[in-house]
Every structure is written in structure tokens, then in C-alpha cells.
Amino acid sequence: MQDITHLDEARDPLLIAERWRHDGKAVAVATVVETWGSAPRPTGSHLVIDADGNFHGSVSGGCVEGAVISEAAEVIETGQPRMLEFGVADETAWRVGLSCGGRIRVYVERLG
């Protein structure tokens, strides 16, 4: 029986980000800061990404993670945080979108 009242060291994105940093990796943290309509992951959800494109956590049900990961590479390089916005594919400039019809804003920042 798994104890869900304590953090899952193997899967919790923020714990993984801390560990990656200790291992000397460059890390970006993406956070869902706003949602409209039926968004798959709640505000405050995290996706963490390293410079090699490894990632843990999620900001959507898998719909926009690819785009966030490629943006994260640039955030890691420049150190400049970015605000990304995703909606249904047709309505935005993004090639990817949320099939559920919702919209989300994701803040991507470098760790350190």
C-alpha cells in the first residue's frame, strides 16, 4: 500500500529538480500559472526539464509538453524566463494545442 501522504522522491518534479541541480545539471522549471476552461492539469502543476531534454511531471495531459521542453532549452541557455500560452490548436500561433478546448499559461524559468 503506497503512502501518498508523503512525497514521492522518485516522481515529485520539484524534488527531482533539486537532485538534478545537485548533480550539476542545468534545469528549467515550468509551472502552470493560469488555466481557462477544461485544463488537464491544475494551476501550480510543474514540469521540470534538464538541458538534455529529460523531463518529469506535467503541465497538460501530454498535449503541449513537447513545446514546453523545446522552449525550456532556450530558457536554460539564456536564463531569461518565458511565459507560454497554449489553447486549442486553431486559435493560437502554436502548432500544438489542448484538444480538450481549454487554455493554459505556463511560466518557464531556469533554476539558478
Partner 1 sequence: MDPHLLEQLNGERRARRAAVLVTDLSDGAARLIREGETVSGPLGEVVARAFRTGNSGLTEAEEGSFFINAHLPQPRLMLIGAVHISQALAPMARVAGYPVEIVDPRTAFATEDRFPDVLLDPRWPEEVLAERPLDAYTALAAVTHDPKIDDFAVKAALDSGCFYVGALGSRKTHAARVDRLKNIGATADQLDRIAAPIGLDIGAANPAEIAVAVLAQVIAAFRARSNAAKAGEKTA
Burial class, 42, CB count within 10 angstroms (exposed 0-12 / middle 13-18 / buried 19+)? exposed
Interacting residues with partner 1 between 11 and 50 (CB under 8 A): 14-15, 17-18, 21, 29, 31, 33-34, 42-44
**Rounded CA gap, 104 and 95, in Å?**
15
Using the contact rule CB under 8 A, the part of the chain among 51-59, 61-69, 87-95, 102-110 near partner 1 is 102-110
CB of 101 to partner 1, least distance (A): 21
Beta bridge partners, 46, equal 31
Burial class, 10, CB count within 10 angstroms (exposed 0-12 / middle 13-18 / buried 19+)? exposed
CB nearer to partner 1: give 77 or 99: 77
Site residues for partner 1 per CB under 8 A = 1, 3-7, 14-15, 17-18, 21, 29, 31, 33-34, 42-44, 81, 83, 107, 109-112
